[in-house]
Every structure is written in structure tokens, then in C-alpha cells.
Amino acid sequence: MAAHPPIGRMIGAPGDQVHVLVRGSGPDLVLIHGASGNLRDFTFGLVDNLAHHYRVIALDRPGLGHSDPLPGQDHSAAGQARRLRAALAGLGVVRPIVLGQSYGGAVALAWALQERPSALVLLAAASMPWPGSLDPWYRLTANPLGRATLVPLASAFVPESYVRRMVEAVFAPQPAPPGYADHLGLDLTLRQRALATNVAQINSLRPEVVQMASAYPTLNLPVELVHGDADAIVPLAIHSGPLAGLLPDARLTVLPGVGHMPHHSHRAEVIAAIDRAATRAGLR
């Protein structure tokens, strides 16, 4: 935490705060990060690229980075979307373009089901029910007892070298950019609260997207989907491929040979998708 303090502002009452970074001017563009992350994922170059044409609003999802967790046992994408919408209303954000990457794509879709933004941009988005089960770490921490037992051990004893290998695995088959892990802040990722929040959010996601998927055909707004066909974390064939067929106004861009982090490995293509979304929404 001391090594990676807030770089934006805290919005909301104590215990209900969201960490938000605002840069640039133009149409509002909200950036929602993925699992185990924080808004620094977007400040590794992307925000600076976008701030020339948009008012870019990057934020930490509830319980991650510097944002407060949701109350009680609410770990839902829908609850996160409500918290983020309420926080950004204080900034005068009305019908923004909402971009979600990975787990953040589920939050962006939940936002759209609650209140239509101008457009959605979904990057390697976790959006559809997946077959099989999660990996052993998530299965073992699926209940409060498992989280109470294993999360403190992981926070205290998982070596940084292991986490760096996990970062490389998320980027594969592309390499993680030099300096990315240090910029993101592994101390933020390994905090007990962040670990516990992340596993609870991941474990509760599949039942939620089962319910959400039935409502996707009602989303009559421009949607840009960007997904690599080598993504082993959130596979294209399970998520964006089927999702594109459910959405009334979706455009799917498939990136050959690309993994889970296209906003780093193929930034130009992602920015082009954002610009298309803005044009399709009448904002450019």
C-alpha cells in the first residue's frame, strides 16, 4: 500500500469509497479492470493514449486497489456496477462509453442491464457461463472457512516470484511488458482483503452470468467486442463468440494469436474499437 498509494481521488462516504482517476477531455469513457487488478492496469500507457480524445475515468472495483468492498456478503458484478454508477454520478457522468476487461466485462454488462450507457467495449470479457469448474485455488476458497484459512497464508507466504509467473501466464502467449508487474503493484494484489475479495467475486460469477445471459438480447446499444483467439484465461469460443450472437448490435474483432491482455499487446486495435464505439454512439 505504501509503495502504491492512491493516484486518483476517493469518491463517496468512508466505507463506501471508490478510487477514481480522471484524465483528459471529451466523451466520457469508463475503464473497468479485471480480476486481481486495479486501475493501474490502465495507466500503463492506455490512459495517456486515450486522454487526447476522451475524458477517461479509470477506477478500482469494490474491494480491490484502494476502493472499499461492498457491504456484507455482496460480491456480485451487479452490486459492483451499482456502486460504480453511484460514485461516478457525482462526477456528472451520464451515459458514458463503458469498457470492461476480463471480469470487468461482466461488470460492464451488469451496468448496461441496469442503465444503458452510450456504448460498451468488452475486451476478453468474461460474459457467458463456462463448462467445468474453476481451478483448485478458487474451489478451495469458495466458502468463508476456506477463505479465512487459506487467504492469510497466501498473503503472507506466496513469494513474489510466483505472482510474477502468474502475471506472465495471464499475458501468454505474449510476454508481459517490462515493468508492468511493478507498475500494477503486487503489494495491492497480495493484500488479504484484495485476495479474499477477488476469490469471492470469481466464485460467485458463473451463477450470475447464467442469469445475465438471458437478458443480453435486450441490450440495444453499440457493443465492440475484442478478443484474442489464443486467450486461455477467458476463451473466445466460450465467451465473446457466443455473446456476439446474442447482442443485437455487436461487432466482434478477433485478434489471431493474441492472449488475454489485448489492451497492452494490441493497443492500436483496442483504441480503434473504442473510437468505433464512440462513432456508432454518435459521440464523435
- Burial class, 194, CB count within 10 angstroms (exposed 0-12 / middle 13-18 / buried 19+): buried
Alpha helices (H) in the chain, listed in sequence order: 40-43, 46-50, 77-89, 103-114, 136-140, 144-157, 160-171, 180-184, 186-189, 192-213, 240-246, 262-265, 267-280
Half-sphere exposure of 38 (CA within 13 A, CB side): 32
Q: Which three cell numbers stand for residue 213?
A: 445471459
Specify the CATH number for the domain of residue 20: 3.40.50.1820
How many CB atoms are located within 10 Å of the residue 212 CB? 20
SS3 label, residue 67: coil
Q: Cα 147–130–205 angle (5° rounding)?
A: 40
Q: Determine, yes or no, domain membership for 143.
A: no
Q: Determine, yes or no, domain membership for 84.
A: yes
pTM: 0.94
Q: Determine, yes or no, domain membership for 163.
A: no
Tell me the helices (H) and strands (E) count for the chain, helix number first: 13, 8
| Residue-by-residue pLDDT tens, the chain, 284 positions | 567 999 999 999 889 999 999 999 999 999 999 999 999 999 999 999 999 999 999 999 999 999 999 998 899 999 999 999 999 998 999 999 999 999 999 999 999 999 999 999 999 999 999 998 776 656 656 667 666 665 565 566 577 787 889 899 999 999 999 999 999 998 888 888 888 899 899 999 999 999 999 999 999 999 999 999 999 999 999 999 999 999 999 999 999 999 999 999 999 999 999 999 999 999 98
- Strand extents, DSSP E, 214-263: 223-228, 250-255
Q: Which three cell numbers stand for residue 6?
A: 492512491
User: What is the number of domains present in the chain?
Assistant: 1
Q: Determine, yes or no, domain membership for 55.
A: yes
Q: Determine, yes or no, domain membership for 146.
A: no
Q: Determine, yes or no, domain membership for 144.
A: no
Q: Cell 477531455 appears where? A: 25
CA distance 184 to 181: 5
Q: Domain range holding 120?
A: 9-133+205-280
